[in-house]
A and B are shown apart, each in its own frame.
Chain A
Amino acid sequence: MHLPDGFIDGTTSAGAAVVAAGGLGAALRRAGQVLDERRVPLAGLVAAFVFAAQMLNFPVASGTSGHLLGGALAVVLVGPSVGAVCLAVVLIVQALLFADGGLSALGLNVLNMALVGGCGAYVVFAGLRRLLPARPPSVVVAAGVAAGVSVVLAALAFTIEYALGGTGGASVAAVAGAMVGVHALIGVGEGLITALVVSAVLATRPDLVWGARHLASPAPSEAPAPGAAVPAREAS
């Protein structure tokens, strides 16, 4: 879903860049307040993992592929503000180092994948977590569903941008239908991969999963080992 330059006109791209910069600034500010120093390497790992996963295109239909966007994965693992920043770094590295995703389209890509994808995933995940029982499998299910939905939301964000300043004269309704259709399929893959990775981390270090903090109260059978990282205990 990386937009190249040219699909969306300059005005819309510039507007998206302003919105993306504002959102990213807010996320950075928030991240600076909430990120525990010990978790800085974890945030780096999340970004690096999302970068690697984004290279792995899987076939979704004849002649079409998709890859993990990773917004939901990042948000569930490190929280919405840190996660959105991680995604933005991935997109910036891709655009500057690998010519993947246009430069004038960078704001659009950050807006769609880091902010809309990340925020959308956060809202869906937080809502589902409230509805489902407070157990680890619920976190996995909520992460997977949020991941799938977030891909479709990112596709809708592109459609809105295309409606505002799309080039090439395609019908907005047709673009909307096609984008949602193919990204619903990609969203299934996104949901499965996200659920798999979240459950792997939950099985290894559940305390590192931001989206599972509500499960962190010490279980009776599990005495917390001294020195084993207790989830970030920082006061605000």
Chain B
Amino acid sequence: MSRRLHLAAFVAVGLAVAAALAFFVSPHASGEPDGLERVAHDQGFADREAGHPLGDAPTADYAVEGVDDEGLSTGLAGLLGVAVTFAVTAGLFVLVRRWGGRRGPGPGAGSPGALASPGSAAGSRGPGSSAPFGPEPPGPESPARA
């Protein structure tokens, strides 16, 4: 299967597609109110919208401050968002794996409690937590049925 794309190449191509959508296509997206905004308007509670506390941020409303061309401004904001979202997500998962993650059967497992200590983002929840993620059966992400 030489046609199979390497994982790194797959991620690179995927990011290029996301960046292209954000930069080239998003300036042409529909500017009409979305479903919720439409309902809020029709049902008469749209005026309850409060100003956003970060509404003066230099990238508020997907426009980069100082870039006059509206399309370019939106496109640049989109590129920034794609980059930041990728970096934050990947960084978060690296940390999460380090905190609570299952480690390979490597050395350093001398104090197994240390890795799963309540310092993790999940706080002191037990493993059988009944939080909204209930529907996930045990071990669904390992190919048990393969």
Which A positions have Cβ atoms within 8 angstroms of B? 1-7, 19, 22-23, 25-35, 37-38, 40-53, 55-60, 63-67, 79-82, 84-86, 89-90, 92-100, 102-103, 115-116, 119, 122-123, 126, 155, 158, 166-171, 174-175, 178-179, 182-183, 185-186, 204-205, 208, 210, 213-214, 216-217, 222-225, 228-229, 231-236
Contact = CB atoms under 8 A, between A and B. Distances in A.
A232 B7 contact: no
Contacts of B15: 45, 48
A103 B146 contact: no
B59 A182 contact: no
B100 interface: yes
Nearest to A9: B48
A53 B14 CA distance: 12
A63 B38 CA distance: 8
Nearest to B7: A229
Given A85-B96, A99-B54, 14 more contacts: A1-B35, A2-B36, A25-B131, A41-B11, A44-B85, A52-B21, A55-B81, A85-B92, A89-B85, A98-B62, A103-B52, A178-B42, A222-B1, A225-B2
B17 A49 contact: yes
Contact of A232 (B33, B86, B133, B143): B143
Contacts of B121: 25, 28-29
A89 B88 contact: yes
A200 to B, nearest CB: 9
A15 B138 CA distance: 28
Interface residues of B, number: 91
A97 B123 CA distance: 26
B55 interface: yes
Nearest to A62: B32
B22 A51 contact: yes
Nearest to A172: B43
A60 to B, nearest CB: 7
Closest A-B pairs by Cβ, 5 of them:
A168-B45, A29-B122, A44-B90, A6-B50, A26-B131
B22 A31 contact: no
B68 interface: no
Contacts, number: 322
A39 to B, nearest CB: 8
A195 to B, nearest CB: 17
B40 A34 contact: no
Interface of B: 1-2, 4-5, 7-8, 10-11, 14-15, 17-19, 21-22, 25-26, 29-36, 38-40, 42-55, 57, 59-62, 74, 77-78, 80-90, 92-94, 96-97, 99-102, 120-123, 125, 127, 129, 131-136, 138-143, 145-146
A95 to B, nearest CB: 8
Given A85-B92, A217-B146, A52 B33 contact: no
Contact of B35 (A46, A89, A179): A179
A38 B132 contact: no
Given A37-B97, A41-B7, A49-B18, A93 B85 contact: yes
B81 A167 contact: no
A174 B43 CA distance: 7
A4 B10 CA distance: 35
Contact of B85 (A48, A100, A115, A210): A48
B96 A98 contact: no
Contacts of B136: 30, 80-81, 122
